[in-house]
Amino acid sequence: MNIVHHAADHVKVCASIDPDLYSAGAYASPWVLIRPWQTFLAVASIGAGGGTQTFILQRATNASGSGLEVIPGTTVLIVGSANAQHLISLQQSAAVSPVVNFTHIRLSIITSGIRDMGAVLLGVPPQATPVSEDESSTVVEVVRV
Amino acid sequence: MLTHVHAADNVAVISAIDPDAIGTSTVVSPYADAGDFHTLLAVISAGTLGTGASLAAKLVQATTQAGGNSKDIPGAAIVALTQAGGDSDTQALISLQNASLDVDNDFRFVAISITIATAACDAGAILLGVSPRVGPASDADASTVESVVRV
């Protein structure tokens, strides 16, 4: 890595599940194109509350979620966790398929009880890109120091 | 950055403010050792901001992991997110190069500070270490990281 670059040049926020107190149910981020990213890091932040949570990454053949399926190996069952983080590190090669033309991924968390939680999907581009053009539109500010 | 390895080898979660409804107060994450990484990235996530509320965030530095001699890092603060400005359900990032720390005076520990004013807000934050100096980044994950799955 060229150390003159900022972390913000190497790691982008692609999508998120905003922090909130969620009731039992399934929650998902917007769909994100797979192609611009070499690898992904999904971070689920689990706050206080009850129930169990299942943290997964899903893929689809378009931004509308067609052909949705869970990316094999990306299911994390969270039991008895509070004020902790759970990470899924995904290579682009594991997000796609040689059989089906999967083009998009998203985060999903299913909770069986009321729970404070949130998540972000971070994308690592193949090379440093100072312009934040592939960052989620919900990123309203990037401070570089 | 090595791109043929996992993201978890290059990026670690080194501190966090857990998602919660935060009242009007200042919340500071645990301090993390910035010396393990070339750069840091703070991701501040705002959920629903209360009526008239604002969410300010900054990075602070200290000489010990317990926050000794804590002080601001010049320039490492966001323009406050506000409910009136439509900033609910958004993120703000602070990207920090270690050269911005007062290393001459042994300031090597960094934390995120969030201040909520006027009304409670749903919020959370994570502090990422990017590009470790030695070994895979996940070796330096905070103790609150309970699982790392690699696919």
For chains A and B, count residue pairs whose Cβ atoms are closer than 8 Å: 204
Q: Which of A13, A18, A71 has its CB closest to that of B47?
A: A18
Predicted confidence at residue A81, as pLDDT, reads 80
Q: Which amino acid is at A138?
A: T
Give the number of other CB atoms < 10 A from CB of residue B134: 7
Integer Cα distance of B88 and A102 in angstroms: 31
Biggest CA–CA distance in chain B, Å, is 46
Strands B81-82 and A32-33: unpaired
What pLDDT sits at residue A131?
61
Judge whether residue A3 has pLDDT over 70.
no
Summarize pLDDT for B68-113 with one digit per residue, the tens.
999 999 999 999 999 999 999 999 999 999 999 999 999 999 999 9
Q: Which residue of A has its CA nearest to B48?
A: A20
Mean pLDDT of the A69-96 span: 93
Please check whether residue A19 touches B, CB under 8 A: yes
Q: How confident is the model at residue A133 (pLDDT cuts 50, 70, 90)?
A: low
Q: Quick check: A67 pLDDT over 50? A: yes
This prediction has a pTM of 0.93
Residue of B nearest to A95 (CA): B151
Q: Residue A127 pLDDT more than 80?
A: no
Residues 55-74 of A with CB under 8 A from B: 57, 71-74
Options 3.40.50.920, 3.30.413.10, 3.20.20.70, 2.60.120.1110; CATH for B7-132 is: 2.60.120.1110
Beta pairing partners, A13? A122
Q: How far is A124 from chain B (nearest CA, A)?
A: 7
In chain A, the percentage of residues whose pLDDT exceeds 70 is: 94
Residue A95, helix vs strand vs coil = helix
CATH number of A17-124: 2.60.120.260
Minimum Cα–Cα distance from A122: chain B residue: B7
Contacts of A72 (CB under 8 A, 6+ apart): A94, B151
Q: Kindly report the nearest CA distance between residue B68 and chain A, in angstroms.
A: 22
Q: Where are the beta strands (DSSP E) in A1-103?
A: 12-22, 25-28, 32-33, 39-49, 53-60, 69-70, 76-78, 84-91
What ipTM was assigned to the predicted interfaces of this complex? Answer: 0.91
Least confident range from A54-68, A77-91, A125-139: namely: A125-139
A128 pLDDT above the threshold of 90: no
Partner residue opposite B128 with nearest CB, options A11, A71, A90: A11
- pLDDT category at A130 given cuts 50, 70, 90 is low
Window 107-126 of A: residues touching B by CB (8 A cutoff) are 116-118, 120, 122, 124, 126
Read off the pLDDT band of A132 (50, 70, 90). low
What is the C-alpha to C-alpha distance for residues A28 and A72, in angstroms, rounded to an integer? 17
- DSSP-assigned letters across all residues of B104-145: GGT--EEEEEEEEESS-EEEEEEEEEEEESSS-GGGG--TTE
Domain boundaries, chain A: 17-124
The mean predicted confidence, pLDDT, of chain A is 91
Could you give the 3-state DSSP secondary structure of residue A7?
Answer: helix
